[in-house]
Structure 1
Amino acid sequence: MLRIGLIGTGTVGGGVIQILEQKIAEYKEKLGVELELACICAKSEEEVAPYKAKGYKVSTNADEMIAGNDIDVLVELAGGYNMPRKWILAALESGKHVVTANKALLAKYGHEIFPLAAEKGLHVLFEAAVGGGIPIIRSLQEGLLGSTVEHLSCIINGTCNYILSRMADEGLDFDVVLKDAQKLGFAEA
C-alpha cells in the first residue's frame, strides 16, 4: 500500500484526484501497487469540503499531514516557492517520497531538494512539471544512460509550447495567448 498525501486542489490537483478516483483499481492491476489517497490538503475548509463530502480524510494544515505517519508520499501541487519548499524538505526529512509539478520551485530550490533526497535514499519525481506530463524526464534519465549527451537545447513545457506555437502560427501577441491559456487551465493564474 502506497499512501498519498496531496497538497493543492486547483486545476492540477483536482485533475490528479479525478484520475486517481477513476483509475486506482487499474493502477493496482497493471502496476501491482495499491494506491490510497490518504489525505487531501488545501488552504481552506471551502477547498477541501467537496472531498470531505466524498469521505476523504482532509486537512488545511500541510505541516501536520506531512509530520504524521498516515502518508508515504507527498504530492505537492500547490504552486509557489516558499511553502512548497518547506513542505518538500520536511517530507524528505521524515522519510517520504515526493512528487511535484512545481517547475518554478525545482528551478529555484532543486539544489537543496535533490541532494537531500539522495542523502535519504528517496525519490523526487517531477515528470508532471515538464511537457504536460509527456514522459521525457525518465526517457532522458534512463533511455540515454549508455550515451554521452554533450548538449540538449529545447523547451520541454506544454504551456510554453502552446503559447509559442499560437504566437507563431496565428501572429498573436503574448498577452492574448497567455490569457487564452489561463482560461483553458493550461497556464497558472
Structure 2
Amino acid sequence: MGLFGSDTSTETLDYEPEGDYVTAERIGKMDDVLDDDEEVMFVIEGKNIQEKGEGRGVLGSDVDAKNSLLSSILTGATDKRLVSKIPQMTGDDEQTIPYSRIEGVDLDTGLVTKKLTVKTSGSAYEFGVQDPDADEVREMARFIREKMKESQQATAPAASEPDPTEQLKNIKELHDDGVLSDEEFEEKKNDLLDQM
C-alpha cells in the first residue's frame, strides 16, 4: 500500500516535496508503482509518452507511443528514479527510468504544450506535459539532471591505489639517483612495507 491508506484525499506527505504540484492525492494514484520508502519530489501529468529509438515500436518502427484514454499519465521524479503510471483499459502500465541510465534532459515549452525529453543511451522518452506550469517542469528537469550527475559520480570508477611493489621500485630508483636521502628512503620504504 506504500505511503497511504485508502483515503488519500485527506492524507499528508511525511516529507517535503520540491514541486508544488505534488499532492498526497496524486501520489496516492501512483502508490502501486512506488516503493514503500520512495519519495516523489516532482509530478507531471499528461496524456502520452513516446519512446523513440531504433526498432522500439510496433513492427520495428522507431517510435513506441503510450497513450491513456482513461485518465492522465502521472510521472514522478523520485529520490530513486523517474517512474510513470499509464492507465490502460486492461490494467496499468509502468515506465521506469533509473537516473543512472539518463544521459540528458530537454524541455520544450510552447503556448499550449510542454514536452519533457529524457535521453538514455538507446532511447529518448518524450513526456507530453499538461500540468504543472512550465516553471515547475523546468525545476523538475534540473532535479533530474542533478540526480543523473549524482548517479554518474557514484558509479565512476575510483582511482586505484598504486601498487606498493611498484612504489618500492620507484623510491629505490629515486634513492639511487640521489633524489632521496638514506633516511627518506628508509622511512618511505618502511611505510610501503607496512601497506603490504
**TM-score (norm: length of structure 2):** 0.25
Structure of larger gyration radius: 2
Query: Hey, which of these two has a bigger chunk of strand by percent?
Result: 2
**TM-score (norm: length of structure 1):** 0.26
